[in-house]
Structure formats: structure tokens, C-alpha cells
Structure 1
Amino acid sequence: MGAPGTAEAVGEPAGTAVGLGVRRPVLLSARGEDQALPTEEALRASGAHRTVVRAAWFAQNFSEGPPAAEVRAGELVFPAGGVAEPFVAVRDVAEVVVAALTGGGRYAGRRLSVTGPRPLTWAEAVAEIAAATGRPLTYRAVPARDHGEALVGPGVPREEAAFLTEVSETLLDGRNAYPEDGVRQVLGREPRDFAGFVAQEAAAGTWEA
């Protein structure tokens, strides 16, 4: 939620919505991402009794888009080093958002941090996928700027690649290397574990070469 122009794209319609009677919007934001704070502030400034759901890195980032293609090819290249992250299942994020929207204002004015139950490094995550698929998969850490430059080649606009580099250089510093209890607070249960996600995707053939 911190991409260039996002604060304006959220703040202006939020102000209009408040004028029309909307009182409890829910913003899906990024946990620990400095670049997302202006968007959160723009929603606050609108006067809405907002709920901000700050999500950890999605487990599904390993099963969709370019990262999934890299895993299928045998090697995930990413600028996370040895940093750990409690990867969260998108279904948990969605259920928390729905509960915030339909909770009758119970979560208005709150910030909810939703994560998975245990932190894993990217190398450990790839190792779990390798074990589930029976394939020799590896993770290779690279500097954030090198990763950003590599993104431009496949067609990512340079401005977007520069933004992703900035996010990687700040967000992947270990600040999120611990789980939080937002899922349990809202849903009354523990969050889905990364192992369950891996088992489901492996059974579906997501990472078959």
C-alpha cells in the first residue's frame, strides 16, 4: 500500500465516502513498511473510523507470479538474506478484513497486525517446499539493488522497480521477524501454518517443473 500515488488514491475517495456517510472503512496495509504509512495517514485524515489491517508477507507469494516461476525453475533469487518472516496465509488476511468490515465497529480505530504462527527465513521456506515436492530447490540471496535491476529486464517499469528496491532495503532488515496475534484476536484461533500452505500447493502441482 506504499506505492507512489497510493496515499492520494486512498485519501481522496475516503474523504468523499465519509461525506456520503461511510464510517468504517478497512485498509489492507503492509506490516512494518514505512512506505505504507502515508496511505494510512491519508485514511486517518479523512475522518473515517478506520481499521488498518497490517499483513505480513503472504505465503502465496511463493505460489503466484515471478517467485513461483523461479521456484519451478529450481532457484528463488530474492534480497531477503537470512531475515525471517512469519508468512501469513491470504485466507487469514481475508477473514480478518471481513470480520473488521462486519464487526459493527468493534475494530474501528484499531491497527491489527496479522501474521503466520512462526517465522521462517526465505531459505527455510524454500527448503519446506523442496521437501514437500521432492525437488532440489535452492534460495539465493542478492543485494536489493541488484534484484531491482533484474526486475527491469522482464518488463517491470523502472519506477516500480526502484520502489520495490526501496521497500526491500528498509522492510527486509529483521523488523518483522516475529509473529503477532492479530488473527487470534479477531478470529479466535491460531493462524494457518506455512506447512499447510505448502502441502496444499504441492498436492496441486503448483511447483512442478
Structure 2
Amino acid sequence: MNITVRKASETDVDIVSQALLEGSRAGKKIGLFDLVFNTSDDAILLEYLKRLALASTKSYCHFSNFSIALDGNERVGALCGYEPRIATHEVFSQALEEIGFDESYHERIAAYLLCEGESDNKTWVLDFIMVNNPFQSFEILKELVGKSMLTARLKGYRKVQTSVEIGSIETELIYKKLGFTVIDEKRSEYYKEQFGRAGIMRLQMIL
């Protein structure tokens, strides 16, 4: 396996939308976008997520924030890396409005908002990981994270953070193996009731 990584383009919208869906669910039955769009139909969700990824309003879901891992010509993984000072919640709401959704989703994701970590303007954020080859997941993720960190350094960032649900042991261990450390966690019974996980932890690496 010879993994290369490149920036995503519009032609990668299928794997980007899949990464958004799978990354948000993280092995659960429902994830953030099931609630945002008020459906758990994969075909409908993927169509909405493609529209969100291609919207002229560049939220953190926009394809331009993604890196794509390739094994030869085969797409084997995707990872989002973005600047929270630019890709704000307000921009996300604007992108949703562009594709026909209002802000009523806020009520449906209240449990998520209770546990979401806050990132300052000096932090680069990683999110929405998907790897198609579970036997090479660490190698692929290592290459994706490395590429994203290079981009972060070139933009002047010295901190990289990601969020992992408490109980997602495999993902937590992979990030720790890459050099991340847990900096905080938020727990909520409401979150556990809705998602079946205790809450969300944040991990960080200093570049």
C-alpha cells in the first residue's frame, strides 16, 4: 500500500458526504446530521450533505476543507481540517439556509451543543474521519493527519484539536498514538440518552 494525500475537489463530493455522515455517527445509529436534517435515511442524508459540501457558503462541511487519501487511484480515506475562526456556527447556519433549511435544527441538536468543546481562534480543528480500509486504518489516518497538520503550520497554527466521543476507545487510542493528549471532556445525561455515549472529549497536539 502506497498512500498519497491530496486536497479534495468537487469531484470528491461522494466520499466527502460519506465522511460527513460516517464521521458524525461514529458507529452510532444516529449522528449530528440525522438530527440537523431530521431524517435517518442514508440516501436522503447523503444528498443533503453533497449539497452542503458544494454550497457557495463555505462551512466546515465544505469539500475544500477535506483531504483525500489515495491508494493508487482508489479513494481510501477522508479527513476534514478547518479554521473555526472562519468556519463558525453562523456560517454553518448560512450554508444550511442556502440549501433550504432554517435554524430550527438548533433545538434538535441541543444535547450535542451541551457537550461540544470550544476552540479558540488560534486552533486548527480536525473532524469527520473516514477510512475505507480497516486493516490499514492507522497508516491512512496518519497520512491524512500529517497532511492536515502541514496545512495548519503553513497557515500559522501551532495547536491542533479534535473531538472524540467518550467510549470511542479505538479512535481515542489512534489519536493518542499519533501524539494527541486529552485536554478536557464534557458529560451529559441528555447526551447519553440521545446518543448512547457519555459525552465528548477533546484531544490536542502542539505543533
Shorter-chain TM band: under 0.3
Give the structure with higher Rg (CA): 1
Q: Which has the higher strand share?
A: 2
Which structure has the higher relative contact order (CA within 8 Å, separation 6+)? 1
